[in-house]
Amino acid sequence: MPTTAPWPPTDPGQRQRLLAHLAHEYFVEGTSKIALGKKSGLSRFQVAALLQEAQDTGIVRIEIAVPLENSDEDLARAAGLQRLVTVGSAQWPADREALAKAVAREITRVLHDDDVLGISWSRTLQLVVHDLPALPHNDVIQLAGALSTDDRAAESPRLLASLRCRSAWPLWAPLVVEQADSLKKSREIELTLRRADSLDVAVLAVGGWTPDTSTVWPRIADDVAHAAQRAGAVAEVSGHLLDAEGHELDTPVSGMIVAASVAQLRAARRKVAVASGAERAPAVLAAVRGGLVDHLVCDAALRDALEGLLPRAAPAGGE
């Protein structure tokens, strides 16, 4: 006689699919446990146990956003931003994964069907790609060459590999390379960079221009990095260096970068940026002044540092 398969299933793949289905119905659609039990042939107690299993195994991750006492809207207005999203607090600092999730949510807020989405390269943006939902109606472009970071070196050339979208345009090049102009003439790289002319949403990371706040600085000669600093560099965005007023600097570093141009990034309808750490506040202001950031996701330390650098705007409706 045929053996009846156990229910709920014990097969790992089938069980994970069931856990994901139940979790979506309960946490997203608001279906009750009783209704879920009737639909899936399970008791209410089995449904409760499976939902707990979904949380314990990481299929469900619950976040609680605590609003800040001082409005991010006022600070955004003072900084010249359309929107500021602070993640974490002074007591519970945000880690890179929390920032990445917030960036992914911000992308889904501003992205429309048929928009062209561009994503630059950073350790945080590598995680953002994994947190994005399927984008079946969007083309996605990698805006900057790869950097091997921490223990993710094996994944470095594959920024868009896990992303489900209408079409993906990877940039098969390192971010920093001698004679970058010659490399950018190769057909594959040229085609990807040319598509950045049609950007609707650009997703960027803002770094400073010191050894500890930029992933580019350690990859170039120390004398070249210091010379750029003396020339006024305070910010690095997709490998491009900006002065405090947001002007792009023409330094030898420019000839070592494989990335979409500042003009291409600035032309996007929305520029979503991520940065963390109080020490990057001057760099963020430079990027905003340069027209490269209008939506900022940051941690509490950076937010507080920005507040210290800017005069507070009067609250809406105030004198």
Tell me the CATH number at 28.
Answer: 1.10.10
Same domain for 131 and 279? yes
- How far, CA to CA in Å, does 150 sit from each of 43, 122, 126, 201? 46, 11, 12, 28
| Those residues with Cβ within 8 angstroms of residue 80's Cβ, 6 or more apart along the chain or in another chain | 288, 289
Number of domains in the chain: 2
Same domain for 162 and 287? yes
Q: In this structure, is residue 304 part of a structural domain?
A: yes
Same domain for 214 and 293? yes
* pLDDT given at position 64: 60
CA-CA distance, 215 to 195, in Å (whole number)? 25
State what percent of residues in the chain have pLDDT above 70. 90
φ, ψ of residue 102 to 5 degrees: the values are -65, -40
Which segment, 108-112, 152-156, 160-164, is predicted with the most confidence on average? 108-112
Q: In this structure, is residue 153 part of a structural domain?
A: yes
The string of pLDDT tens digits covering residues 214-260 is 999 999 999 999 999 999 999 999 999 999 999 999 999 999 999 99
Q: In this structure, is residue 235 part of a structural domain?
A: yes
Domain holding 149, by residue range, is 70-309
* pLDDT given at position 153: 43
Mean pLDDT, rounded, of the chain: 88
* pLDDT given at position 152: 47
Q: At what angle do helices 44-56 and 12-23 cross, to 10 degrees?
A: 100
Same domain for 50 and 86? no
* pLDDT given at position 102: 94
Q: In this structure, is residue 65 part of a structural domain?
A: no
* pLDDT given at position 1: 42
Same domain for 53 and 123? no
Residue 83 has pLDDT above 80, yes or no: yes
- How far, CA to CA in Å, does 248 sit from each of 65, 170, 264? 36, 25, 13
Q: Which residue did the predictor score with more confidence, 206 or 174?
A: 206
In 164-256, DSSP assigns E strands to: 165-169, 201-208, 235-237, 240-242
Same domain for 259 and 129? yes
Q: In this structure, is residue 293 part of a structural domain?
A: yes
Q: In this structure, is residue 2 part of a structural domain?
A: no
Same domain for 97 and 119? yes
* pLDDT given at position 312: 55
Residue 72 has pLDDT above 90, yes or no: no
Q: In this structure, is residue 4 part of a structural domain?
A: no
* pLDDT given at position 313: 45
Residue 89 has pLDDT above 90, yes or no: no
Same domain for 31 and 128? no
Same domain for 160 and 295? yes
* pLDDT given at position 319: 42
Radius of gyration of the chain (CA): 22
Same domain for 204 and 262? yes
* pLDDT given at position 11: 85
Q: In this structure, is residue 255 part of a structural domain?
A: yes
Give the distance, in angstroms, between the CA of residue 167 and the centroid of all CA atoms in the same chain.
19
Average pLDDT of 98-124? 94
Report field, pTM of the whole predicted structure over 0.85? no
Which residue carries 């390192």 as its tokens?
A: 174
Amino acid at 83: R
* pLDDT given at position 155: 44
* pLDDT given at position 246: 97
Same domain for 46 and 115? no
Three-state DSSP class for 295?
strand
Q: Which residue did the predictor score with more confidence, 249 or 12?
A: 249
Same domain for 18 and 116? no
* pLDDT given at position 150: 55
* pLDDT given at position 285: 97
The string of pLDDT tens digits covering residues 267-282 is 999 999 999 999 999 9
Angle at Cα 107 formed by Cα 128 and Cα 131, nearest 5°? 30
